[in-house]
Amino acid sequence: MTTHYLILSALLFAIGGIGVLIRRNAIVVFMCVELMLNACNLAFVTFARQHGNIEGQVIAFFVMIVAAAEVVVGLAIIVTIFRTRRSASVDDASLLKY
Amino acid sequence: MGETVTFWVLAVASVAAALGLVFSRKAVYSALMLGVVMLSLAVLYAVQDAPFLAAVQIIVYTGAVMMLFLFVLMLVGVDSSDSLVETLRGQRFWAFLAGLGFAVLLALGFGNVVFAAPTGLAAVNQAGNVPSLAEAIFTRYVFAFEVTSALLITAALGAMVLAHRERAEAKATQKDLSRARFVAFGETGANPASLPGPGTYARHNAIDMPALLPDGSISQLSVNRHLARHTEELLEERSGELDASETPVAEITEGENSK
């Protein structure tokens, strides 16, 4: 059963990664990052049970806290960029390129 | 047996929802799909001897984080859809290939590992899952826990600083707005009066039904453009009715449709 959980976790992580690479809307990119974090948490919880060690769950708990903090700051940045550029597309914020 | 059934149901649901998250055109659908994935994962945590994490997953992720996502979606504009222009040629294809390759690589790697039967957390969770987690967090990981609290305060402050906006000029009063409307009327002939209300003379009084003008034509200005999906249907319907009486269905397009 452990293998099944790990493969599910790997699939969700890969799908999230594809989403980060192909989507252009900054908010959807952010959601895909959250999906990847969740997939990692599933792997942590699975290994915690596999090895009978609570520390996997502790790390998953910390990942959740860091993810929550990251969402708050990231969405604030997206709102700020949207205010100045009227766009939530990641392709539009390319001023540093020129 | 019960766990196997739960796993397969939730695995299929979560992978399908994750695909929906990546490939749905509208950002709100993506958010709802993400909610489905998070709920499925919460149940999978509960199945795997982590009831506390399952509760935290639902409270923090589907509760707080999803609400934040939806709030920002509404602020930034639900209709801000993806641009289809590829800045890097073939990027979508290669990204897809890379993701697929990564998934296959990881899945094959995990598939080849032979795990012993899971030890299970029954021994560790003897006093209960929450006390054993608390014991780990507040003894071995207490420093990380304190740092986390500093991180959360920093994140809250950072969000406030980033999202705060100083008003650069005074707020426009009703007098200023009225003056601006009449200046626009003098320059472009835009209608200075308020826009017609929806559906006043129509058969329905729903907010998305356009109003009929005295000559029987439809006022496009009376409906918010985001709600205007019925307007075209109604136009067709009415043009069928009105063909007999030879009344043209005129579209009123003057002025900015900014209602």
pLDDT at B55: 93
pLDDT at B154: 93
- Residues 1-30 on A with a CB inside 8 Å of B are 1-8, 10-19, 21-25, 27-28, 30
Two tokens, residue B230: 């019925």
Under the banding of pLDDT at 50, 70 and 90, the label for residue B237 is low
Q: Is the pLDDT of residue B256 over 60?
A: no
Q: Is some CB atom of chain B closer than 8 A to the CB atom of A81? A: no
Phi (first) and psi of residue A41, to 5 degrees: -60, -40
The DSSP annotation for chain A comes to -HHHHHHHHHHHHHHHHHHHHH--BHHHHHHHHHHHHHHHHHHHHHHHHHHT-THHHHHHHHHHHHHHHHHHHHHHHHHHHHHHHS--BTTT--GGG-
Looking at the DSSP bridge assignments, the partners of residue B211 are B219
Residue indicated by tokens 């959980």: A5
pLDDT at B258: 42
Query: Do residue A30 and residue B98 have CB atoms under 8 angstroms apart?
Result: no
ipTM confidence: 0.91
Give the residue with greater pLDDT, B237 vs B189.
B189
Residue ranges of domains in chain B, CATH in brackets: 1-76 (1.20.120.1200), 196-254 (no CATH)
Query: Do residue A75 and residue B14 have CB atoms under 8 angstroms apart?
Result: no
Which of B105, B76, B85, B35 is closest to A22 using CA atoms? Answer: B85
Residue of A nearest to B165 (CA): A80
pLDDT at A52: 85
Give the residue with greater pLDDT, A93 vs B173.
B173
Q: 3-state DSSP call for residue B211?
A: strand
Low-confidence ranges of chain A (pLDDT < 50): none
The whole-angstrom separation of Cα A69 and Cα B156 is: 8
- The CA-based dihedral angle spanning residues A23, A29, A35, A38, taken in that order and rounded to the nearest 10 degrees: 160
The continuous run of DSSP H or E covering B39 comes out as helix B27-47
Two tokens, residue B42: 């919460």
Residue A40 identity (one-letter amino acid) = C
- Best mutation target, B72, B157, B167, to test chain A (most A CBs within 10 A): B72
pLDDT, tens digit (0-9, with 9 covering 90-100), for B141-151: 999 999 999 99
What's the distance, CA A57 to chain centroid? 18
Residue B31 identity (one-letter amino acid) = A
Which of A77, A88, A71, A74 is closest to A23 using CA atoms? Answer: A88
Q: Specify whether the backbone of B202 is left (phi greater than 0), alpha (psi in -120 to 50) or beta.
A: beta
Give the count of alpha carbons within 13 A of A26, CB side only. Answer: 23
Query: Do residue A38 and residue B111 have CB atoms under 8 angstroms apart?
Result: no
Q: Domain count for chain A, please give it.
A: 1
pLDDT, tens digit (0-9, with 9 covering 90-100), for B193-211: 877 777 655 566 677 777 7
Give the CATH number of the domain where residue A74 resides.
1.10.287.3510
Two tokens, residue B87: 């800045």
**Do residues A33 and B33 make contact, with C-beta atoms less than 8 angstroms apart?**
no
Enclosing domain of residue A30: 2-97
Average pLDDT over all residues of chain B: 80
Q: Is the pLDDT of residue B86 over 90?
A: no
Which of A42, A26, A38 is closest to A76 using CA atoms? Answer: A26
Q: Is the pLDDT of residue B224 over 70?
A: yes
Residue of A nearest to B65 (CA): A68
The whole-angstrom separation of Cα A77 and Cα B17 is: 27
Under the banding of pLDDT at 50, 70 and 90, the label for residue B247 is very low
The whole-angstrom separation of Cα A3 and Cα A17 is: 21
pLDDT at B82: 62
- Class of residue B28 by CB neighbours under 10 A (exposed 0-12, middle 13-18, buried 19+): middle
pLDDT at B257: 43
The whole-angstrom separation of Cα A2 and Cα A48 is: 10
Q: What percent of chain B has pLDDT over 70?
A: 80
Can you tell me the mean pLDDT for B57-86?
A: 80
Under the banding of pLDDT at 50, 70 and 90, the label for residue B240 is low
